[in-house]
């Protein structure tokens, strides 16, 4: 594939560096840090410690680096005319920074979860920083006052134990109101919470005692492709805001999530959509700027304004930095780069590398009433504007051409990027638009600074890697999202562990030493020798076999299969390119449905076009990046019928092969059985070895001296300290598995 080059010249770097050093003291920044707790930790051959603290910072509303922040001009300011924040952080570092490698991994918390770097990176003497960004902090139930800890603004170290999550205190617009929606689904209770992705919707009604301006509507059916069957409006006399209880005996609304009490009970066959007047929006973009500023401080500053030393400035300090986020926080990583915040207020690059994992979009963290916890269910933000890296036209949505790297390429602050993802990001998290655009006719070329790796037939975040006989057990999965339901297929075991391990080594060496990573590999509309592995989302185009047990052809109908991007109209006060501003259309108008492309599959239903991976290439069944939501006639049904028969949000599945040919024929299964494929347990082990060799020889699996001793074909002279020899791990697992291990090691009778 042809790539577009982002030019950086030594002279340009020199000029920028000189300007930065001169300008840095005049810019808003982290003004103070407080270390609340220091503890010793292991995981390395040198002493490590963990520091938990808080960063106090200022944002200049008039600085060009910040004007993209929605409502920054309306935010309350301090005596210096700056908007302020307090952000938590966690540092994992060598006790003696002179022993540090100089590489910082800046981790993006997922819904507030604190992160410390893994032992393999500690063995490499790297430094980790986890710092907050999500200003609504909706992952923690509580009143507005307790979404961040009571000690947030305390200027001295706390006496107790810090809270276990990352949080950021951002400005709010007191008294500002606007319409938002909440959706209640699959409930048969007297009271139901207003949730987004299982967390509280982070905004209170303007008046919890009066619902007269709000509307609760029943929805009888919604299809995956956005066709909505509207039912009746529930009279305002028949529902009220509550903290729980019942309609006749509600409890007061004091904490999030706000609940709705209804006369009688909610009907689980209906979805209830509430349009209500909310109050006090967060200036969410300040959280993004806080993440930028914390990363910049620990990379560049020697001390804060009060003379407190930067604990990472000793020794050689931080020479290079990588921002890394998974799922929601991977979406944030893409968002950070798109809005130009890989450049600090002094004009310096903040992160030399970036790694968005399993992230198919950008997070909704810079609009009024934004809900960063959203997962792209109907009427949720996240796919507005360009989702592709380089400048490319948006031929369907009628917005200007652009790309995520547009701003950083203009300022020469783009990082080296590795992105890794799999099947669920395609089928539910709307990934493929970033590959082919909104009018899919050709592959969008990758820029030189981006590498892309697709893990075929995998679930969100990868499975547990199980190689045991899949016919012996059944493990059902719950569908993620807002009270969605359960899947009909068992859990997908295809692991992401080995690819993630390999890419962690690759990105580290690319950023530190300029070593090229393995070639990008993902499904294409036009690949080598005109091979096409990215096709329309139909059973025929995919080549998915009919008759696979438990997979009805109806799942492939457009109303059930593949969550598309919707061309929403959020109203005239919303910037549909940058996903900023005030969305006044709630719910938004659906102007059109973007055509989605998906990977082609082989005769087993397993995906083509991604990186070679052992469990996919020596399969025990059909692995899918999607699952089917259970209905009343399914064994896994759990009383949540609304989405029955549709894709089970963003979770994968597995349908195992029959063990014997006779069993296959009895079930009319079109896929060869384990007996026909492998014959014996040793035949399966040999297939795993072949698949592991293929992955290692192409550069996608770590294989070292131990693998060489076991007969691996392609190995490295050594593997970085702390990293596993994954070739050995998967082959040993196959040898110890129970696949065709009984009956004298034969798969058949």
- DSSP H or E segment with residue 289: helix 285-300
Which of 72, 609, 134 lies closest to 363 in space, CA to CA? 134
Mean pLDDT confidence for 281-309? 97
What DSSP assignment string belongs to 620-636? Answer: SEEEES--BB--TTSTT
User: Which residues fall within 8 angstroms of residue 49, CB to CB, at 6 or more apart?
Assistant: 38, 39, 40, 41, 92, 93, 94, 95
- 553 close to 613: Cβ distance less than 8 angstroms: no
Whether residue 150 sits in one domain with residue 53: yes
Whether residue 314 sits in one domain with residue 199: no
Q: How confident is the model at residue 12 (pLDDT cuts 50, 70, 90)?
A: very low
Q: How confident is the model at residue 4 (pLDDT cuts 50, 70, 90)?
A: very low
Please give the pLDDT value at position 589. Answer: 97
Quick check: 298 pLDDT over 90? yes
Whether residue 202 sits in one domain with residue 141: no
Q: Which of 291, 319, 347 is the last residue of a domain?
A: 319
Quick check: 17 pLDDT over 50? no
Q: For residue 42, is it within any domain? A: yes
The total number of residues written for the chain in this structure: 749
Q: For residue 192, is it within any domain? A: yes
Q: For residue 713, is it within any domain? A: yes
- 591 close to 384: Cβ distance less than 8 angstroms: no
E strand residue ranges, 299-415: 320-326, 353-357, 392-394, 399-402
For residue 143 the two structure tokens come to 């009143």
What DSSP assignment string belongs to 507-553? Answer: HHHHHHH-PPPPPPB---SS-GGG---EEESSHHHHTPPTT-TT--G
SS3 129: strand
The CA–CA distances, whole Å, from 351 to 116, 293, 322, 384, 412 equal 18, 11, 5, 24, 12
Quick check: 27 pLDDT over 70? no
Percent over 90 (pLDDT), the chain: 90
- DSSP H or E segment with residue 182: strand 177-185
Q: Which of 319, 349, 382 is the last residue of a domain?
A: 319
Quick check: 7 pLDDT over 80? no
Quick check: 682 pLDDT over 90? yes
The number of beta carbons lying within 10 Å of the beta carbon of residue 311 is 17
- 82 close to 61: Cβ distance less than 8 angstroms: yes
What b-and-e string marks burial along 685-709, b requiring 16 or more CB atoms within 10 Å of the CB?
A: bbbbbebbbbbbeebbbbbbebbbe
Q: For residue 293, is it within any domain? A: yes
By mean pLDDT, which of 10-14, 256-260, 484-488 is the weakest? 10-14
Q: For residue 714, is it within any domain? A: yes
Q: How confident is the model at residue 470 (pLDDT cuts 50, 70, 90)?
A: confident
Q: Report the sign of the C-alpha dihedral through residues 606, 656, 488, 547, in that order.
A: positive
Going by DSSP bridges, is the β-strand pair 589-593/127-131 parallel, antiparallel, or unpaired?
unpaired
Give the C-alpha separation, 610 to 692, whole Å: 15
Q: For residue 602, is it within any domain? A: no
Quick check: 530 pLDDT over 70? no
- 294 close to 166: Cβ distance less than 8 angstroms: no
Whether residue 166 sits in one domain with residue 95: yes
Mean pLDDT confidence for 16-22? 36
Whether residue 141 sits in one domain with residue 260: no
Exposed (0-12), middle (13-18) or buried (19+): which is 472, by Cβ within 10 Å? exposed
Quick check: 180 pLDDT over 60? yes
Q: Which residue has the higher pLDDT, 578 or 398?
A: 578
Whether residue 233 sits in one domain with residue 286: no
Give the C-alpha separation, 620 to 165, whole Å: 39
Ramachandran area for residue 347 (φ above 0: left; ψ -120 to 50: alpha; else beta): left
Q: For residue 647, is it within any domain? A: no
Q: Which residue has the higher pLDDT, 743 or 512?
A: 512
Quick check: 337 pLDDT over 50? yes
Whether residue 291 sits in one domain with residue 167: yes
Give the C-alpha separation, 436 to 521, whole Å: 15
Give the C-alpha separation, 647 to 556, whole Å: 9
- 116 close to 130: Cβ distance less than 8 angstroms: yes
Q: What are 50-79's pLDDT values in tens digits?
A: 999 999 999 999 999 999 999 999 999 999
Exposed (0-12), middle (13-18) or buried (19+): which is 174, by Cβ within 10 Å? exposed
The number of beta carbons lying within 10 Å of the beta carbon of residue 445 is 15
Q: What are 127-149's pLDDT values in tens digits?
A: 999 999 999 986 655 655 557 89
Please give the pLDDT value at position 102. Answer: 97
Whether residue 208 sits in one domain with residue 68: no
Give the C-alpha separation, 323 to 359, whole Å: 14
Whether residue 162 sits in one domain with residue 289: yes
Give the C-alpha separation, 354 to 325, whole Å: 8
Number of separate domains in the chain = 3
Ramachandran area for residue 653 (φ above 0: left; ψ -120 to 50: alpha; else beta): beta
Please give the pLDDT value at position 411. Answer: 97
Ramachandran area for residue 337 (φ above 0: left; ψ -120 to 50: alpha; else beta): alpha
Q: Which of 319, 340, 369 is the last residue of a domain?
A: 319
Q: Which residue has the higher pLDDT, 3 or 124?
A: 124
Q: How confident is the model at residue 22 (pLDDT cuts 50, 70, 90)?
A: very low
Exposed (0-12), middle (13-18) or buried (19+): which is 475, by Cβ within 10 Å? exposed
Q: For residue 37, is it within any domain? A: yes
Quick check: 578 pLDDT over 80? yes
Give the C-alpha separation, 14 to 590, whole Å: 48
Mean pLDDT confidence for 323-333? 97
Q: How confident is the model at residue 739 (pLDDT cuts 50, 70, 90)?
A: very high
The CA–CA distances, whole Å, from 574 to 379, 396, 528, 578 equal 15, 18, 41, 9
User: Which residues fall within 8 angstroms of residue 142, CB to CB, at 6 or more apart?
Assistant: 255, 256
Which of 102, 96, 204 lies closest to 147 in space, CA to CA? 204
Please give the pLDDT value at position 672. Answer: 98
**Range of the structural domain that residue 238 is part of:** 177-279
CA 378 to chain centre: 18
Please give the pLDDT value at position 527. Answer: 67
Whether residue 161 sits in one domain with residue 40: yes
- 72 close to 59: Cβ distance less than 8 angstroms: yes
Tokens 């919604």, residue located: 222
Mean pLDDT confidence for 557-572? 97
Quick check: 19 pLDDT over 60? no
- DSSP H or E segment with residue 228: strand 228-234
Whether residue 194 sits in one domain with residue 309: no
- DSSP H or E segment with residue 503: helix 497-513
Quick check: 25 pLDDT over 60? no
Whether residue 160 sits in one domain with residue 59: yes
Mean pLDDT confidence for 263-274? 97
- 703 close to 711: Cβ distance less than 8 angstroms: no
Mean pLDDT confidence for 480-485? 93
- DSSP H or E segment with residue 279: strand 271-279
State the number of CA atoms in the 13 A half-sphere of 318 facing the CB. 29
């Amino acid at each position: 594939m042809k790539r577009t080059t982002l030019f950086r010249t030594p002279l340009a770097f020199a000029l920028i560096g000189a300007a930065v050093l001169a300008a840095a003291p005049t810019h808003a920044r982290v003004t103070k840090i407080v270390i609340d707790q220091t503890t010793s930790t292991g995981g390395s051959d040198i002493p490590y410690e963990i520091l938990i603290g808080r960063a106090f910072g200022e944002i200049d509303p008039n600085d060009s680096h910040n004007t993209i922040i929605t409502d920054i001009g309306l935010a309350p300011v301090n005596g210096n005319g700056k908007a302020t924040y307090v952000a938590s952080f966690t540092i994992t570092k060598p006790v003696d920074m002179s022993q540090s490698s100089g590489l910082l991994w800046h981790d993006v918390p997922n819904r507030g979860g604190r992160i410390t770097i893994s032992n393999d990176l500690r063995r490499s003497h790297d430094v980790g920083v986890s710092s907050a960004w999500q200003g609504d902090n909706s992952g923690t139930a509580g009143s507005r006052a307790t979404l961040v800890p009571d000690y947030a603004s305390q200027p001295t170290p706390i006496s107790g134990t810090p809270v276990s999550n990352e949080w950021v205190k951002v400005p709010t617009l007191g008294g500002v109101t606007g319409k938002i929606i909440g959706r209640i689904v699959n409930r048969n209770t007297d009271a139901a919470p207003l949730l987004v992705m299982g967390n509280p919707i982070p905004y209170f009604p303007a008046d919890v005692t009066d619902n007269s301006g709000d509307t609760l509507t029943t929805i009888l059916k919604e299809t995956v492709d956005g066709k909505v069957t509207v039912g009746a409006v529930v009279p305002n006399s028949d529902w009220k805001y509550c903290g729980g209880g019942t309609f006749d005996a509600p409890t007061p609304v004091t904490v999030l999530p706000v609940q709705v009490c209804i006369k009688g009970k909610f009907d689980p066959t209906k979805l209830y959509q509430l349009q209500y007047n909310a109050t006090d929006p967060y200036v969410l973009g300040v959280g993004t700027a806080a993440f930028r500023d914390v990363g910049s401080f620990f990379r560049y500053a020697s001390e804060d304004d009060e003379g407190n030393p930067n604990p990472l400035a000793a020794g050689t300090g931080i020479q290079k930095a990588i921002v890394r986020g998974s799922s929601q926080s991977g979406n944030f990583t893409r968002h950070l780069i798109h809005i130009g915040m890989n450049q600090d207020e002094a004009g310096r690059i903040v992160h030399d590398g970036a790694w968005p994992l399993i992230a198919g979009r950008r997070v909704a963290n810079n609009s009024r009433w934004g809900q960063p916890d959203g997962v792209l269910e109907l009427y949720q933000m996240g796919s507005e504007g360009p989702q592709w890296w380089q400048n490319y036209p948006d031929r369907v949505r009628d917005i200007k051409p652009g790309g995520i790297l547009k701003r950083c390429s203009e300022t020469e602050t783009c990082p080296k990027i590795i992105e890794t993802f799999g099947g669920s990001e395609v089928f539910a998290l709307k990934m493929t638009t970033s590959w082919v655009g909104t009018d899919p006719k050709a592959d969008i070329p990758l820029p030189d600074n981006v590498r892309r790796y697709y893990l075929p037939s995998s679930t969100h975040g990868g499975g547990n890697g199980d190689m045991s006989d899949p016919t012996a057990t059944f493990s059902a999965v719950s569908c993620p999202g807002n009270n969605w339901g359960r899947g009909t297929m068992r859990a997908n075991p295809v692991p992401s562990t080995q690819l993630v391990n390999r890419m962690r080594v690759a990105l580290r060496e690319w950023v530190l030493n300029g070593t090229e990573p393995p070639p990008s590999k993902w499904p294409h509309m036009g690949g080598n020798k005109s091979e096409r592995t990215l096709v329309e989302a139909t059973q025929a185009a995919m080549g998915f076999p009919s008759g696979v047990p438990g997979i009805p052809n109806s799942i492939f109908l457009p109303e059930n299969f593949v969550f598309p991007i919707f061309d929403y109209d959020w109203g005239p006060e919303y910037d549909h390119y940058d996903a900023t501003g005030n969305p006044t259309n709630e719910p938004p108008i659906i102007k059109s449905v973007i055509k989605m492309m998906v990977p082609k599959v082989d005769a087993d239903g397993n995906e083509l076009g991604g990186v070679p991976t052992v469990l996919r290439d020596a399969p025990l069944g059909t692995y899918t990046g999607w699952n089917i939501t259970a209905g009343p006639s399914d064994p896994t049904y759990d009383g949540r019928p609304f989405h029955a028969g549709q894709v089970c949000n963003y979770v994968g599945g597995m349908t195992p092969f029959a063990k014997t040919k006779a069993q296959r024929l009895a079930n009319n299964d079109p896929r060869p059985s384990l007996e026909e494929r492998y014959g014996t347990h040793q035949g399966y082990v040999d297939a795993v070895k072949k698949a592991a060799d293929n992955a290692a020889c192409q550069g996608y699996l770590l294989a070292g001296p131990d693998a060489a001793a076991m007969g691996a074909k392609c190995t490295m002279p050594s593997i970085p300290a702390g990293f596993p020899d994954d070739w050995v791990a998967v082959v040993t697992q196959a040898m110890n598995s129970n696949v065709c291990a009984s009956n004298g090691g034969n798969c058949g009778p």
